Amino acid sequence: MKQPRAPFLPWLLCVCCALLTLTVLNAQAQTPAQAQAQTYPNKPIRLVVPFGPGGSGDITARAFAQYLEALIKQPVVIDNRAGANGILGTEVVKNAPADGYTLLLTTNTTLAANLSLYKKVPYDPLKDLDHVGMFGTAASVALVLKGSGINSVADLVSYSKANPGKVFYGHYNSASQMTAEMFRVKTGAPMTGVPYKAIGSALQDFYGKQLQVMFIEYLPAMAQIDNGKVLALGVTAPTRFKTWPNVPAIAETYPGYELGFFLGLAAPAGMPPEVMKKMEGWLSAALKDEAFLARLNQLGLEPSKLSRADYTKFVGSEITRWAQVIKDAGVQPE
């Protein structure tokens, strides 16, 4: 006699159970980081600028925030945390959760110069931060008020030597401080630095004639030059800035003088690789976007072409370079 076939339904149930088990196992195998990356970002992102409004870092951060909001369809909030030459804001990010919702606008000040300007810094730039990449590089320009009688960098040196103890410059980050200090060392001009928490306060005293000269990054200097009240004496880059072709490089008068700066993006150390990859993609896309590149060009920044790995190496080399710059200037750590 022919044996009856096994019922079809039990067999089908076994197959379904097996498929369900595989689905559950696959879901369990997915790491929390992978799961987070699939939905990231699903809430506002905070971009901490460790300086006051109006400086080069702040302006660049706001331009990137505007680009990023359009890309990810989530708010990107600028959080200015000025104080201690960028240390306070950097420490805020260091202590934030490594979940991709807190980013940091980084500079040569926070990542390199501060390590030599201060005896103790509460963070390690290479261990406490995951570096996404660099926006670009730029330089600064020496400004004086029109009608001061100072019409060139040579005039500034002569005036300083003729009036020792009466020429002051304001500084609010390492770029504004060390460009002036290097100028002092290179030329022998006896200038005295006055520290400020933010560029706005320094400019107020500059226009009030309490400061005789300011070394300001290209980005914020543009507005000062456009107002017609100041005279640009020279740029700190080795060559002239294309936006101001009639403004000489200081190196044309004092060969060997040169100091620029960089701006980058970082996050707290320990970022999930999948989330970090997304952020790296955002920055890479921004640096290929014509509108964003045009904005960087307007701000005086030369866009970065470094990969993330090369940028991290660059940060390490900048720590060494700025240590030598500060040593050569004879600046003692606070």
Q: Select the more confidently predicted residue: 135 or 26.
A: 135
Q: Do 86 and 182 belong together in one domain?
A: no
> 209-230 burial string, b = 16+ CB within 10 Å, else e?
eebbbbbbbbbbbbebbeeeeb
Q: From CA 118, how far away is CA 137, in angstroms rounded?
A: 24
Q: From CA 171, how far away is CA 178, in angstroms rounded?
A: 9
Q: Do 275 and 132 belong together in one domain?
A: yes
Q: Select the more confidently predicted residue: 197 or 46.
A: 46
Residue 287 pLDDT grade (very low, low, confident, very high; cuts 50, 70, 90): very high
AA identity, residue 292: F
Is residue 3 assigned to a domain?
no
Least confident of 18-32, 177-191, 218-232, 243-257: 18-32
Tell me the average pLDDT across 158-169. Answer: 96
Task: Report pTM.
Answer: 0.79
Are 189 and 162 a contacting pair, CB within 8 Å?
no
Q: Do 179 and 243 belong together in one domain?
A: yes
DSSP one-letter code for 249: B
Q: Select the more confidently predicted residue: 148 or 29.
A: 148
Are 115 and 121 a contacting pair, CB within 8 Å?
yes
Q: Do 210 and 312 belong together in one domain?
A: no
Q: Do 163 and 200 belong together in one domain?
A: yes
Q: Do 114 and 184 belong together in one domain?
A: no
Residue 5 pLDDT grade (very low, low, confident, very high; cuts 50, 70, 90): low
Q: Do 129 and 110 belong together in one domain?
A: yes
3-state secondary structure at position 3: coil
Tell me the average pLDDT across 132-140. Answer: 94
Is residue 94 assigned to a domain?
yes
Q: What are phi and psi of 239, to 5 degrees?
A: -130, 165
Average pLDDT, the chain: 89
pLDDT at 195 over 50: yes
Is residue 17 assigned to a domain?
no
Is residue 121 assigned to a domain?
yes
Question: Would you state the pLDDT for residue 1?
Answer: 45
Q: Of 252, 275, 296, which residue sits at a domain end?
A: 252
Question: Would you state the pLDDT for residue 220?
Answer: 86
Is residue 36 assigned to a domain?
no
pLDDT at 2 over 90: no
CATH number at residue 181: 3.40.190.10
Question: Would you state the pLDDT for residue 245?
Answer: 94
Residue 265 pLDDT grade (very low, low, confident, very high; cuts 50, 70, 90): very high
- By DSSP bridging, strand 45-49 and strand 76-80 are parallel
CATH number at residue 84: 3.40.190.150
Q: Do 95 and 176 belong together in one domain?
A: no
Q: Do 83 and 166 belong together in one domain?
A: no
Q: What is the pLDDT of residues 220-238, one digit of tens each?
A: 898 899 899 999 999 999 9
Q: Of 202, 231, 252, which residue sits at a domain end?
A: 252
Tell me the average pLDDT across 191-207. Answer: 93
Question: Would you state the pLDDT for residue 300?
Answer: 84
Domain total in the chain? 2
Full domain range(s) for residue 215: 139-252
Q: Do 112 and 165 belong together in one domain?
A: no
Among candidate residues 200, 205, 198, the one with its CA nearest the CA of residue 86:
198
